[in-house]
A and B are shown apart, each in its own frame.
Chain A
Amino acid sequence: MSSSTEAGEVLIDCQSVWKVFGEKAPLAMKAIAERGLSKTEVLREFDCVVGVSNASLQVKRGEIFCIMGLSGSGKSTLIRMFNRLIDATGGAIQIKGQNLMQLGATELRAMRAKHIGMVFQAVALLPHRNVLENAAFGLEVQGMGKEERHKIATAALQKVGLADWTHKMPRELSGGMQQRVGLARAIAADPEIILMDEPFSALDPLIRRQLQDEFRQLAKSLGKSAVFITHDLDEAMRIGDRIAIMKDGVIVQTGTAADIVMNPANAYVAEFVAGISHLHLVTARSVLCPVAEFQQAAPGVDVNSLPRSAPDADLDALIAIMVGALDHAIGVWDGASLLGVVTAKALLKSVQEKPATAKA
C-alpha cells in the first residue's frame, strides 16, 4: 500500500446517487430524472420505494466520515452501495478514481478483497471457526497460504488487543470482543477504506465508548479512511471528522460536528442537536467581540494585561482560564495579533444559548 499519496485525495466520490427499490426501479428512476417525482408519487405510480435520493459526498484519505440517521433513513443502503452489496439505481460512485458501477465481477471481487473492508452490526463471525481463523477469513478468501494469513491475522488481533484469544471460539467472547475480532478481520486485509455499518450499536454504553475511542485511534494510526454509520449523534461527533445527517433517504447536512451544532441546516437537524453540549464545539473565535467594542464598554482595562487564549480554544478551556484568573475577560491572540476579547457575559451566554436557530 502506498502511503505517500497526497493528503486530501478523494477515495470515495459519490455523486447524486439514488437507490430505488422495486421491480420497476429503472422506469421510476427515469421518471424521477425527467419529471422530478416525489417519494410518495414514485410509490403510488411505480410501486417503488426510494431508499436513497440524490446523495453526494466525498471521503478523503485518512478521514473518518460518519453518516448519521435514524432507522429507515437510508444510511445502511447508502453504505452498501460503496462496495456494491447493493447496486445504485442512479448516479456515480468512484472508489480511488475507478468507476465502481463499471467493474466486472472479477474486478469487483478484487476491489472488495483488497481496498474496501467492512464491519457489520451483527459482527458475523463464523461460529464454527476460532477467532484466528475468523480474523484471517478475508485473506483466506484471497487465496493466501495458511501460515502467512495466520501471521497477519495474529498481528491484526494484536492491534485490537486480542492477541491472547486467538484459539477461542466466537461464542466464548463478549459482544465487545466479538466486534473487535470483526474489526481485526477488516484491517487484516489492509484495505484503504473501511465501511463500518453501525458496528457498536448493539454494545452497552461503557464498552461502546471505549471501542469508539479505540477505533478512532486505530484508524488514525493506520491512516485508514472510514465511513461510519450510526444512529447515535454523540457517537458520530466522537468519531467523525465530518458528519452527514440523513433523513428519509436524503443527506440533509454535511459538515464538522461544530458546523452542524452551530449552524443546523433545518429544523430537523436543529432538533437533533438541541441536546448537544457546546463546551467542546464552540471556540473563542466565534464568541469574541472586537477590541474596539470591548474598550468602549470597559475603558479602564488594558487588553494586553488580560489572560490570553488561542482562537481555537473551546468553551471548556475558556471557562477554565476565566475561573483561574481574576479578570472578567480573556484576550484572544492569534500569534502576535489580538483578534478580540471574550467577556464573561458572552461566555455565559454562549454556554446557555441553544444552537443558532435554523436558517430558513
Chain B
Amino acid sequence: MDLTQNIEAFDARIEALLAWLQDNAGFVFNTTRHGLEAFFGAVHWLLATPSPYFVVAVVAALGLHLLGWRFTVLATLGLLACQVMGLWGVTMDTLALVIAATAMALAVALPLGIVAGYNRRLDKMAEPLLDLLQTLPPYIYLLPAIALLGYGPATSLVATVLVAIAPALRLTSLGIRMTPNEFLELGHANGIAPLQMFFKIRLPFAVPSIMAGINQSLMMAFGMVVIAGIVGSGGLGQTIYEAVRTLNIAVSIDATVAIVILTMVLDRLTQSAGTAKTGAAR
C-alpha cells in the first residue's frame, strides 16, 4: 500500500542519513565517545580504586557533618550491605556514571541557567525545549545516542546528560530571577556594580533554588543511568537487566536494594548540602 511504502521510504532515508553520518562524521562521534569514556573512566577510577571501606568512611564523615548520626549509621549499614551482597563494583560503576553525567549536565545547565535568569527572552525560548526534554520518555534519548556512539557507557552518559539538564537549568534561572526586589534596591541604592550585584546579592539568594535543581538533576540522572543498563552502560542497571533476562530474580532484587540505598544516600546528602548552605546559622 501507498502508506506503508511511504513509511518504508522514510525509514530508508533515516538509515541512509545515519550511515552517511557514520561515514563522513565518524571521527566526531569517535572523539566524543573517547572523550566521554575518558571522563567516565577518571571518575570511576576515583571511586573504584580505594578500598570500599574507605569510600564508606568518606560518605559517613560527610553524613555526620551534614546530617547527624542517624543518617550516618543507616548509610554506613546500607553501603556495607552493597559490599556484602557482592555488588560493590557495579554500585561504584553506577555511582561513577551518575556523577560524571550530572557533572556534565551541570556544566551546561548552571551557566545557561544564570544567563536565562537575567534574560527573560532566553528563558521564554528555552522553556518549550525544556518541557519537551522533560516530557518525552527517557528511553527515547538512548536511540540517537546508540546509533551514533554505539553500545557502552558513552551512550548512557549522553542520554543521562540530556535528562539531567532541565531541572538544574530551570531552578538556577528561577533562583537568579527571584531575588527579592528590596535587595536589588539595596544594591542599587549603594551604587553596586553589576558583577558585585551577582555575587553579593543575586547568587546568595539563589543558592537554595540552585541546590534544589542540582538535587533534582542528580535524581533524574540516577533514573536514566539505571534504564541505560539496556545499552551496556555497566553498573546496577545492567545487572538488573541481565538478571531479569535470565530469570535470576534473586540477583535482580539484590541490585534493586543497592539502587534504593544509593539513591537515598545521594538524595539526602545533596538536599542537606542545599539547606546547610542557606541556613548557615552558627
* Residues of chain A having any CB pair with chain B under 8 Å: 80, 83, 85, 108-114, 116-118, 120, 122, 124, 126, 128, 137-138, 140-142, 169, 189, 195
Contact = CB atoms under 8 A, between A and B. Distances in A.
17 contacts: A80-B185, A109-B192, A110-B191, A112-B189, A113-B191, A114-B191, A120-B182, A120-B186, A122-B182, A126-B204, A128-B278, A140-B200, A141-B187, A141-B192, A141-B193, A141-B200, A189-B190
A137 B200 CA distance: 9
A142 B182 CA distance: 20
Given A80-B185, A85-B189, 4 more contacts: A83-B188, A124-B182, A124-B185, A137-B200
Contacts of A118: 185-186, 189-190
Nearest to A129: B204
B196 interface: yes
B280 interface: yes
CB-based closest 3 A-B pairs: A113-B191, A112-B191, A109-B191
Contacts of B204: 126, 128
B201 interface: yes
A138 B190 contact: yes
Contacts of A126: 183, 200-201, 204
B185 A120 contact: yes
A109 B193 contact: yes
Contacts of B185: 80, 85, 118, 120, 124
Contact of A124 (B183, B192, B193, B280): B183
A124 B186 contact: yes
A260 B180 CA distance: 38
B132 interface: no
A142 B196 CA distance: 10
A80 B185 CA distance: 10
Contacts of B200: 126, 137, 140-141
B190 A137 contact: yes
Contacts, number: 58
B189 A116 contact: yes
Interface of B: 180, 182-183, 185-193, 196, 200-201, 204, 278, 280-282
A122 B180 CA distance: 11
Contacts of B196: 141
Contacts of B189: 83, 85, 112, 116-118, 195
A195 B190 CA distance: 12
A110 B192 CA distance: 9
Contacts of B191: 108-114, 141-142
A85 B185 CA distance: 7
B166 to A, nearest CB: 28
Contacts of B186: 118, 120, 124, 137
B188 A85 contact: yes
From B185, B190, B196, B281, residue with most partner A Cβ within 10 Å: B190
Contacts of B192: 109, 141
A169 B190 contact: no
Contacts of B183: 124, 126
A140 B191 CA distance: 11
A172 to B, nearest CB: 9
A118 B204 CA distance: 22
A138 B187 CA distance: 8
A270 to B, nearest CB: 35
Nearest to B201: A126
A135 B190 CA distance: 12
Contacts of B182: 120, 122, 124
Contacts of A114: 191
A80 B184 CA distance: 13
A354 B200 CA distance: 54
A120 to B, nearest CB: 6
B192 to A, nearest CB: 5
Given A122-B182, A126-B204, A128-B204, A141 B280 contact: no
Contacts of B180: 124
Nearest to B204: A128
Contacts of A83: 188-189
Nearest to B185: A85
A189 B189 CA distance: 12
A112 B196 CA distance: 15
B195 to A, nearest CB: 11
Contacts of A189: 190
Contacts of A128: 204, 278, 280
A154 B172 CA distance: 36
Contacts of B187: 141
A110 B190 CA distance: 9
A126 B180 CA distance: 11
Nearest to A140: B200
B189 to A, nearest CB: 4
B87 to A, nearest CB: 41
A141 B194 CA distance: 11
A118 B188 CA distance: 10
Nearest to B277: A128
A109 B193 CA distance: 8
Given A120-B182, A120-B185, A141 B190 contact: yes
Nearest to B281: A169
